[in-house]
Amino acid sequence: MFKQLLTGVVLGAALIGSQATLAADFTLKFGHLANEENIWHQAAEKFKEEVEANSDGRIEVQLYPNEQLGAEMDVINSIQLGTADMTITGESLQNWAPKAAMMAVPYAFRDSEHMRAAVDGEIGEEIVAQIIERTNLVPLAWFERGPRHLTSNRPITHPDDLDGLRLRVPNVPLFVDTWEALGARPTPMAFSEVFTSLQQSTIEGQENPLSLIESASFDEVQDYVNLTGHVRSWIYVVIGKDKLDSMPEDLQEVVFEAADTMQAYEAQLFAEDEQRLRQDLEERGMEFVEVDIDAFVEKARPAVLEALNEEQREIFEAIQDL
């Protein structure tokens, strides 16, 4: 009897304890490479708010900016292993799903309308299907990115000026091939290492959209934004398929809806941001340099075509026909 009473007390305390901490049924660990200032993070915060409110606390979202969960490639691995759940990723997925390379092909998209037609149409569907099949990650939302430009400490207006420039690129084989053909010396490196490597001159340049150049304060270690506009791309917010499948349908619905809200919110922030970024970077002392785009396109094009395999080339041609 006494023993039974005691068990009852212990059980009661355990119950009260669990209620007091309001443990969620599901936790989504969401890590990405940008910092708190970047619009990707603001979008991630919106997702967290929506999911937590609309699930009545049954889902908790934990955000880890700044590669706090690891570099992009590591987080993808962690999601596959089940130790992380969400991230923001794109062309780096080509290391698993070759079609993901088509999200960021040098000089492939004329403008953002052209890109949007690809993302929202059959090409986007084909890429998403292969990402799910080969990586076990499910894209929930996509964000347009500003064009990637090359930053450096000497102006570069023509591929001939590259002259072996030691350049950091993300872990994207197609970027390595293209920059080599252009005459630079590209090295794949995690985003979180770029600032220090520029500061220590292990590398001399990097390439990214203005948004990441600004939020990562590359203006402190780079003088020039050379307007190469060499890549237009988009990025996906992805979730591990096993995690998603483990959730009851009503909670999956909460996740999908919050992802839609996040996507719309980010698109609005993106539009506002693009107008402000150049001015802000100029105020911080960066000089914007017009480049001979035709010379870059002419030199990059054969390298890109050479690097693409058959299934990628089919998509490349479909993009040109859009």
Find the binder of ligand 2Q2 among 89, 151, 178, 312 (CB under 6 A): 89
215 scored as a contact of ligand 2Q2 (CB under 6 A): no
- For tokens 């990025």, name the residue: 235
Query: What would the x/- binding string for ligand 2Q2 be over residues 19 to 48, using CB under 6 A?
Result: --------------x---------------
146 scored as a contact of ligand 2Q2 (CB under 6 A): no
161 scored as a contact of ligand 2Q2 (CB under 6 A): no
User: Which residues share a beta bridge with 144?
Assistant: 234
273 scored as a contact of ligand 2Q2 (CB under 6 A): no
CA 78 to chain centre: 16
Which amino acid, 109? F
Find the binder of ligand 2Q2 among 40, 109, 191, 270 (CB under 6 A): 191
92 scored as a contact of ligand 2Q2 (CB under 6 A): yes
Token readout for 58 is 């049954």
CB-nearer residue toward ligand 2Q2: 208 or 261: 208
Which amino acid, 209? P
Q: What is the closest distance, in whole angstroms, from the C-beta atom of residue 99 to ligand 2Q2 in the complex? A: 13
212 scored as a contact of ligand 2Q2 (CB under 6 A): yes
> By CB under 6 A, which span of 60-68, 87-95, 120-128, 276-284 interacts with ligand 2Q2?
87-95
- In the chain, which residue ranges form alpha helices assigned H by DSSP? 2-21, 39-54, 72-81, 112-120, 122-135, 173-182, 194-199, 210-215, 241-246, 249-283, 293-307, 310-321
65 scored as a contact of ligand 2Q2 (CB under 6 A): no
> By CB under 6 A, which span of 7-15, 51-59, 85-93, 214-222 interacts with ligand 2Q2?
85-93
- In 136-248, which residue ranges form alpha helices assigned H by DSSP? 173-182, 194-199, 210-215, 241-246
Token readout for 82 is 């089940």
> By CB under 6 A, which span of 5-13, 16-24, 84-92, 149-157 interacts with ligand 2Q2?
84-92
Phi-psi region of 242 (alpha: psi -120 to 50; beta: other; left: phi over 0): alpha
How many residues interact with ligand 2Q2 (rule CB under 6 A)? 12
Token readout for 311 is 């299934």
90 scored as a contact of ligand 2Q2 (CB under 6 A): yes
Find the binder of ligand 2Q2 among 208, 222, 226, 261 (CB under 6 A): 208
Token readout for 206 is 């990097």
C-alpha 207/C-alpha 151 separation (Å) is: 6
Burial class (CB in 10 A: 0-12, 13-18, 19+), 317: exposed
CB-nearer residue toward ligand 2Q2: 46 or 168: 168
Q: Which residues bind ligand 2Q2 (CB under 6 A)?
A: 33, 72, 89-92, 170, 172, 191, 208, 212, 235
